[in-house]
Structure 1
């Protein structure tokens, strides 16, 4: 494996591409529904309005999640409420394929720890590509969190190369938009002074993040 070399502008571009990928689908659905309304077909009006409402809620949930998971979320040293993080995580992840159980005390943690937890949830969804159940547990000691996320579902697996990418390595030393998520997660973990480990048993993948030794 080779250490990944990535210019700051390239990292920013890949993260923007990642966020846009999440938002394009619901926004596109809104555009399509508005076109249906323009046709003035009474039989399709209720369908189009329902699609607009669902897609607008989805786009809003995805943007709120991205704001915390990838955005600045305040100045350096800012603290984020785990309760707020849980609300945006539930809004983003609960759907027809996935369910999320968020188990965390209402507490303020340094922003990089909360950003790490949200990014780990995204990696957990990759562990159950056919859908399933996510459980996110957080324990707090002062201003230090410890996170354990389990992803249970059919054909659960540790995503390919995820541990290498988190460590900042790839086969070629380069990445594409699909690999930026674990790379960024590893960068946030190091900024938070935490380590990440993966384990799998049967149809359950466990991801643990805790303070580095």
Structure 2
């Protein structure tokens, strides 16, 4: 299977700026609400619990959840926000750091072999959004490997996800191309739709291929001219 943004049919959806901002904000809130809720639960345990064992559990829960919330906010700040807005470029080293904080857990590992360099902001934002898309291709966990070729605006990326039952989620290719089922975009699908917007703004072409059915998915981003 090999499909690209251009393979879809139907009209491209155009969102009002306010609607886009609202949907992206909803997605960011979705990413952080779980660890923030866990922090609240931990604080409630500390307030009511006298058992030292349970209090220790609560402290561990608060610490872990606070670290997770911070990592997700740092990731979203670059992937969705205007981090470093005073500059036209972002450091791939910073992208690696926030990607590790967001992606790595007990089920998923991240191998980052992309060359460290300064790149136009939208290219870095696209890479992080494609890493996020890649996490959805291995629902049971596995490995995400990020590599790059070239330099500057000629840089291309490959994101290889390997895991049991690896697959391309339904409608992701259409969403990357700016299309959606029933011509409707909501907070559940805004992330790949947004990734497609960033790709077009960065003049990049995105493809997703299943190289070994059920084991490996390869997402590539190349300069459109290539």
Shorter-chain TM-score bucket reads: over 0.9
TM-score by length of 1: 0.96
- Pick the aligned partner of 1:205 from 191, 214, 217: 217
**Alignment: residue pair count:** 213
Match of 2:39 in 1: 30
Q: Does 1:189 align with 2:199?
A: yes
Alignment RMSD, CA only?
1.3
Q: Provide Cα deviations, 1:142-184, integer angstroms capped at 9, x if missing partner.
A: 3432110011111111111111111111232211111111110
Q: 1:108 aligns with which of 81, 101, 118?
A: 118
Q: How does 1:1-213 map to 2 (within 5 A)?
A: 1-41=10-50, 42-75=52-85, 78-200=88-210, 201-202=212-213, 203-213=215-225
User: Any unmatched runs of 5+ in structure 1?
Assistant: none
For the 8 Å contact 1:5–1:173, the answer to whether it is kept is no
Moved over 3 A (4+): none
Gaps of 5+ in 2: 1-9
- Displacement of 1:93 in angstroms is 0.5
Distance 1:88 1:142 in 2: 21
Q: Distance in 2 between matches of 1:134 and 1:172?
A: 31
Q: What is the TM-score normalised by the length of structure 2? A: 0.90
CA distance in 2, matches of 1:140, 1:63: 30
SS in 2 for 1:99: strand
Q: CA deviation at 1:126?
A: 0.8
Provide the C-alpha distance between the structure 2 equivalents of 1:90 and 1:115, rounded to a whole number of angstroms.
15
Cross-structure match for 2:3? none
